[in-house]
Structure 1
Amino acid sequence: MLKPRLSGWQRTSVIVLLSAGLLAACSEEPEQKPQGMKIPVNVVTVEPTSTEVTVNLPGRVEAIKDAQIRARVNGIVTDIKFEQGGVVEQGQSLFTIDPAPYQAVLDGAKAQLLQAQADAKSARLLAQRYARLVKDNAVSRQEYDNAQAAAAQAEAAIAAAKAAVQSAQIDLGYTEVVSPIDGRIGKSYVTEGALVSATQATQLALVQQLDEVYVDITRSTSEVMQLRKALESGMLEQAPDGSAKVEVMLEDGTLYPESGKLLFSGVTVDPATGQVSLRAVFPNKDEILLPGMYVRVKLGQGVDRKALLVPQQAVQRSPDGSSTLMLVKDGKVAATPVTVGPLLDNKWLITDGLSAGDVVIVAGFQKIRPGAPVQPIPWNPDQPAGAAAGQQANGAAKATPKEGGGPSGTPGESSK
């Protein structure tokens, strides 16, 4: 196949276009690579601080007193005398169980007591008469002894009758169900006309004292052993009075306004969970803490005079659960494994792997790696994470113009 030939003017146009392309390529500046540029990062310098060490533990609220109101006699409920959910006082009448059968039993016991007292009077008189006659041998000694025994049996019958009366009075008193404690009563589990049983101990209501409440706490044995070692080694100092400060964090994240008192630390370990039980008591006059509520308990451990704290976001977590800090050493990034203690006011307590004076990177992790050169910038806690580093980086970029261009990196007159 024959190839078409270009005419003279076509060859001239091609040569001109190629020359223009070569000139344009020669006029372009090669892209500058930011070799050796330092990446700005936010840092803090770690200094030892005297800090009260606390630990957050799960807890559950329990009532100081929890009285289950149950039936102690059989019968029909005839009256309910309280407002459900209201406050009741000790001795206040709550329920009435039909007292008629028990009143009848009491009346019968009283009648038996009167009969026993009458029989005893006759037996005593007979014994006294036989005591005079036996001296004159008017009656036999056996008859006298029988009279004395009959008088003693009559006295015993009186005692039994009195006990029966007392028992009947107690049963009659149980028909009026009263509150055994001061507190707040819940709902009524029965209504008027319900049959209740003493044998089955039918529950009628529940009264709970809420002006003070218990908070039951559990803690693992490993944490208890670590605390003991820290106190024995002097790493932690116990409070002068030996008391432990206890605070409660509510479900919405707010701190309960009243602090509590630790009553005891468990001396036995639950074999099912491997945990030790602790109990604290809190004032609860406003009844904010309710029985059954789950809370977070902030328990004081002691005082660390040389605590090393870093912001929470400075700690990097690996998939295996280990913790790492990024430090600045000789102007470069160095990754250091650390042991992390409790979280105190949004700061991690570092127990191992960190020294006083170390420079810790807090923000700007996206563009760094171990060994990368960085430009440390003091971290401002009130500024969003990475904001200072980002502003510094933008400022550096704007202050570095390209060759042949203006201050913003735009082409100069040659591009016009």
Structure 2
Amino acid sequence: MKQLRMIRCGLAALVLLCAGCSGGNDKSGERAPPEVGFVVVHPTSVPLTTELSGRTAAFAVSEVRPQVSGVIRARLFAEGSVVHAGQTLYQIDPSLYRANVAQAQANLSSAQANAEAARTRAARYRPLAEMEAVSRQDYTDAASQARQSAAAVQQNRAQLQTAQINLRYTRVPAPISGRIGRSLFTQGALVTANQADPLTVIQQLDPIYVDMQQSSSQLLALRRALGAPGSAVPTSAPVQLKLEDGSDYGLTGTVEFAETMVDQSTGTVTLRARFPNPQGLLLPGMFVRAIFAQSVAANAFLVPQAAVSRDPRGNATVLVVGRDNKIVQRQVVAERAIGPNWVVTAGLADGDRVVVEGTSRVRPGQSVRPVPAGSPQRLGGGNGAGGGGRGQGGQGGQQGGGARSGGR
């Protein structure tokens, strides 16, 4: 019994000793301020851009139609090739139109002969009428016949010119230079003058247009930013382009014009930019994104997105480490993001230490132990450091999510 009592006393002492050690550790953990990672921010000039979606459109489009009727005898171009203005594309059977030219030439010759005879007769009657050898009426009739014959010559000459023009129209030329599409009519097909269906379509692709849709409110802001509030559009503003696969188009374009009215159904205005396209990389109908160099924000701060949070009213806030190593909450102006950073235009000062790691473990007014973000000091040993390391791992996941959100 005595031995059993001694064992019980020893166990009780051991329990009390363990409890004391545990309590001491808890108090030590409460006294140690939490670690936070910070970055020092400095003002810089940040170029601000506006990105709009749009589609490419041909600089010029020509639907080729015949101006005379007939049967197509030959197609004189390769489908999909580049053609030049004036190049013959189709040959329509010219037989009928050559005959019309020959007939018009014969009619003109006949009219010229009649006009010469009438002019001679009138010239002969004039002195006879003065001598009253013929009546004045006969002379008047002869002179009138001469004038009518001269008018008939002009009429037949015009008919000859019309016949010659129609003969030239049997050769269908390219109205503009550009890339030609497929032929919608084959050799042997009967076509008519000014028919509804085109023979083919030519598109001029260098330069090329990009049509973009922008809300009317955004257009007003863009005009103010580009220094053209009273103009119809900030013309000559440089524009960059991103292609469908996310790559950058290497050449710079300029704004050409904006529509003079707002689409009531969508509340948007169409902007048009012009881009050089010497390699033919851009084709009509491609989806692209146009980037305007809107302005430059002077004395702005680039703050990692993980450091910026929103209060219930939607105001952007950051946590700053004060000189006494206490957390201060600052309300900032962060209206746009560039890559993984927010562009902060108000609320920060040069040299501020902005908390980017461990924000979820601290609150305003709390004392902290600040270390540079990503510093090896955050890998120190001990239970406290280990706990900080685990908390940091969770915060790193939050930063990764913010970066991904910014990327989207």
1:349 aligns with 2:343: yes
Q: Which amino acid aligns with 2:246?
A: G
Change (3 A) 1:289 1:377: farther
The amino acid that maps onto 2:288 is: V
Q: What's the offset of the Cα at 1:69?
A: 1.6
Name 1:197's counterpart in structure 2.
Answer: 192
- Which residue, out of 305, 310, 325, partners 2:303? 310
State the shift of 1:119 in Å.
Answer: 2.0
Q: CA deviation at 1:335?
A: 5.2
Which residue in the other structure is 1:159 paired with?
154
Q: What does residue 261 of structure 1 align with?
A: 254
Shift of 1:20: 7.7
Return the TM-score normalized by structure 1.
Answer: 0.76
- Counterpart check, 1:55 vs 2:42: no
Whether 2:217 is the aligned partner of 1:222: answer yes
Q: CA RMSD in A?
A: 3.5
Assess if the C-alpha contact under 8 Å between 2:226 and 2:294 holds in 1. Answer: no
Residue 303 of structure 1: SS of its match in structure 2?
strand
Corresponding position of 1:384? none
Q: Is the 8 A contact 2:80 2:179 kept in 1?
A: yes
1:305 & 1:147 partners in 2: Cα distance? 93
2 CA distance for matches of 1:191 and 1:21? 107
Match of 2:404 in 1: none
My pick for the range that moved more, 354-363 or 111-120, is: 354-363
The 5 Å alignment of 1:109-128 reads 109-128=104-123
Aligned match of 2:171 in 176, 179, 192?
176
Aligned to 2:355: 361
Per mean C-alpha deviation after superposition, the further-off stretch among 131-140 and 311-320 is 311-320
Native 8 Å contact 1:326 1:333 kept in 2 = no
C-alpha displacement of 1:299: 0.9
Q: Percent identity of the aligned residues?
A: 40
Matches within 5 A, 1:8-407: 22=12, 25-26=15-16, 28=18, 29-30=21-22, 32-33=25-26, 34-227=29-222, 244-264=237-257, 268-316=261-309, 322=314, 324-330=316-322, 331=325, 333=327, 336-344=330-338, 346-365=340-359, 367=361, 374-379=368-373, 388=374, 393-397=378-382
- Specify the code of the residue in structure 1 equivalent to 2:380: G
On the 8 A contact 1:265/1:278 being kept in 2, the answer is yes
Change (3 A) 1:359 1:325: farther
1:313-333 Cα distance to aligned partner (Å, 9 max, x none) = 44446898x352322244455
In the alignment, the residues of structure 1 paired with residue 168 and residue 363 of structure 2 have an alpha-carbon distance, to the nearest angstrom, of: 82
Give me the whole-angstrom Cα distance separating, in 1, the residues matched to 2:318 and 2:42: 16
> 1:186 is aligned with what amino acid?
G
More displaced, 349-358 or 294-303? 349-358
User: CA offset at residue 46 of structure 1?
Assistant: 2.9
Deviation per CA, 1:95-114: give whole Å up to 9, x if none: 22222232233332222222
Deviation of the 1:267 alpha carbon: 5.1
SS at structure 1 position matched to 2:30: coil
1:278 and 1:348 map into 2 onto residues whose CA distance is: 28
Q: Note closer, same or farther for the CA distance 1:39–1:306 as it changes in structure 2 (3 Å cut).
A: same
CA distances 1:68-110 after superposition (whole Å, capped 9, x unpaired): 2222222322221111111112211112222223223333222
Which residue pairs with 2:396 in the alignment?
none
CA, structure 1 residues 316+94, in 2 after alignment: closer, same or farther (shift >3 Å)? farther
Task: Read off the aligned partner of 1:127 and give its amino acid letter.
Answer: A
Q: Helix, strand or coil for the counterpart of 1:202?
A: coil
- In structure 1, runs of 5+ residues without a counterpart are 1-10, 233-241, 380-387, 403-416
Q: Distance in 1 between matches of 2:248 and 2:383?
A: 47
Q: State the SS of the aligned residue for 2:250.
A: coil
Q: Deviations over 1:353-404 (max 9, x none)?
A: 545444333344555566665544434xxxxxxxx27x655435467699xx
- Given that 1:40 and 1:392 are in contact with CA atoms closer than 8 Å, whether structure 2 keeps it comes out as no
Q: Is residue 319–residue 364 contact of structure 2 (8 Å, CA) maintained in 1? A: no
Work out the CA distance in 2 between the residues paired with 1:143 and 1:215. Answer: 75
CA distance in 2, matches of 1:124, 1:325: 102
Equivalent position SS for 1:258: strand
Give 3-state SS (helix, strand or coil) of 2:138's partner. Answer: helix
Q: Aligned partners of 2:326, 2:114: CA distance in 1, in Å?
A: 111
CA distance in 2, matches of 1:393, 1:311: 19
Per the TM alignment, residue 276 of structure 1 is displaced from its structure 2 partner at its CA by 3.7
- The Cα shift of 1:248 comes to 1.0
Structure-2 change in CA distance of 1:361 and 1:399 (3 Å):
closer
The structure-2 alpha-carbon separation of the partners of 1:188 and 1:243, relative to structure 1 and needing over 3 Å to count, comes to: closer
How many positions carry a matched residue from both structures?
373
Offset of residue 263 of structure 1: 3.2
User: In the TM superposition, what is the alpha-carbon distance from 1:253 to its structure 2 partner?
Assistant: 1.7
- CA deviations 1:153-209 (Å, max 9, x no partner) are 222222222222222222222221111222211222222233333243321222222
SS at match of 1:214: strand
CA–CA distance in structure 2, aligned partners of residues 138 and 14 of structure 1: 177
Contact 1:61 1:213 in 2 (8 A): yes
Q: Which residue is equivalent to 1:414?
A: none
State the distance in 1 between where 2:364 and 2:190 align.
78
